[in-house]
A = this chain, B = another copy of it.
Amino acid sequence: MNPPLTTSSAMTPALVIDEIVLDANIARMADFTASAGLALRPHVKTHKSIEIARRQLAAGAVGVTVATLSEATVFADAGCHDIFVAYPLWIDDSKIAMLRHLLERCSLLVGIDSAPSAARIVRTGLADTGHLAGMIEIDSGHHRSGVHPDEAGELAEAVQDAGLEVAGIFTFPGHSYSPTARRSAAQDEHDALSTAIRSLADHGIVARVVSGGSTPSLEFADSSVLTEVRPGVYVFGDAQQWELGTCDPSDIALTAIATVVSRSPDHLILDLGSKVLGADRATYSSGFGRLLDHPDARLTALSEHHATVTGVDLERGTRVRVVPNHVCSTVNLADEYLFAAPGGRVTVCPVNARGRNR
């Protein structure tokens, strides 16, 4: 057990990272992608930590993926030179200075799913710095942003004609977040990217970078189409991945430590809620999170500062390790992590990009 759990020196609730498990997760994904012939560009929205990004890059990652320009800034300022903003950016006047700041520090790939959004970027005068290129977003079945694979070539040509280089294509097979759809979503991703590559070729454009991959679909990823993958959650694992079957409880590196503060004959109350864990609950989830050391327990309700737990009875004052449903949401609520190292050493590490949503 982690030292912060068994001593009362750390206040609960707090996020604790088991450093041995973290490093093992980073190494395993680096090995998997290297064996599969895929570049690894981890999505750092999961951990938002310069320290963890450094470990991923040291293990061979080619760069990082972020969701927003302000998130990119944190990692560019920390010396990361190769960043992909995997998001359909709309650069209005308020964001030009931030884009310029980034391009003075790193090479940037940005998501594009329409000609007008590319035109907004070109209009800034920053498209010809040699450090900026667009990635055409493809809808591979998640039906969020992105164009139909058949339309990718036409859009890529329009983007290049407008004055923005096209480096390649990307997709997020987010419909893989289902116990029965992991393999089929990977197949959808493969098919959509194959179609989009042909569509670009029909317009005389080569997709140099073909980027995909979600944590649940990743084990089915192959390099016949993809050149790189962008998993995020694998560094920590969470209750969603546990319940989807993509990680074991022993692979979970981040938990929220909590204290039992109240008891009734049929449930316990822990001193954390949605303001620590996040309120995420997928349709397949068994509750609002899991207890790492009590797998039969269920988090049946969540208020802002209360978690209702059934299926286990513990004394008031007992500390437990809570596995969040969706760790990306949990991390974005915290200002710091406790890193629990082998031998009992605990260090505090900031969540550097917390709240960087713009």
Contacts and interface: CB of A to CB of B under 8 A. Distances in A.
Contacts of A144: 262, 269, 301, 303, 306, 308
B117 A357 contact: no
Contacts of A333: 332-333, 355, 357
Interface stretch (A82-90, A158-166, A189-197): A82-90
A327 B211 CA distance: 36
Interface string A98-116: 1000000000000001101
Contact of A279 (B90, B92, B139, B278): B278
B357 A275 contact: yes
Interface residues of A, number: 64
A25 interface: no
Contacts of A140: none
A299 to B, nearest CB: 13
A261 interface: yes
Given A279-B329, A357-B272, A262 B114 contact: yes
A280 interface: yes
- Secondary structure at the A interface, as helix, strand, loop or mixed, is loop
A278 B274 contact: yes
Interface string A248-265: 000000000001111110
Given A11-B94, A14-B358, A275-B329, 10 more contacts: A11-B358, A90-B261, A114-B316, A117-B261, A120-B317, A143-B264, A144-B306, A275-B355, A278-B278, A279-B326
Interface string A1-32: 00000001111111000000000000000000
A317 B280 contact: no
- Most interface-central of A90, A263, A276 (chain B CB within 10 A): A90
A93 interface: yes
Interface in A138-159: 139, 143-146
Give the 10 A-B CB pairs with smallest separation, nearest first: A145-B262, A90-B261, A279-B279, A11-B94, A8-B93, A279-B280, A11-B358, A8-B92, A88-B262, A67-B305
A321 interface: no
Given A145-B306, A271-B90, A304-B45, A355 B332 contact: no
B279 A88 contact: no
Contacts of A143: 264
B316 A116 contact: yes
A38 B358 CA distance: 42
Contacts of A259: 90, 92
Nearest to A325: B279
A261 B8 contact: no
B317 A335 contact: no
